[in-house]
Amino acid sequence: MIVIVLTACPSGLRGDVSRWLLEISPGVFVGHISARVREKLWERIVDTLKDGRAIMVFSARNEQHLDFRVFRSDWKPVDCDGLQLIKHPNEGKHDTYAGTKRHGWSNAAKYRRAKKYRG
């Protein structure tokens, strides 16, 4: 089984990939092809893709039963004790508490302390 996701790619490339795989949504292709055809198709995608991105997920004989390739994406594959994970860089674009330290007591702690001293 193979899944390929193409973003901002030329229409000719989508037509080329649709010869081998089914396009179930714009830019999302699925199917079952041999490893040799998969590698040749990936080479063609990388050569033809101009400013877009490509992600390919396919079946493999490993613990996760899958493997993936990423081309021109912010998300990077990382090996973590034999498992392939995707690392998403956090550059302050998202509203999270990662890396920020809040000083002082929380409101809940303040109410608890006030209740304790009230009697």
Q: Tell me the residue ranges of DSSP E strands in the chain.
A: 2-7, 22-25, 28-31, 53-59, 66-71, 76-80, 83-87
Single-letter amino acid, residue 14 = R
User: Would you say the pTM of this structure is higher than 0.75?
Assistant: no
Mean pLDDT by 10 residues, the chain (119 residues): 93 90 95 95 92 92 90 86 83 56 77 78
For residues 67 and 58, give the distance between their C-alpha atoms in angstroms, rounded to a whole number: 6
> What pLDDT does 100 receive?
62
For the segment 34-59, what is each residue's pLDDT rounded down to a tens digit? Answer: 999 999 999 999 999 988 999 999 99
> What pLDDT does 94 receive?
52
Find where tokens 């809940």 sit: 108
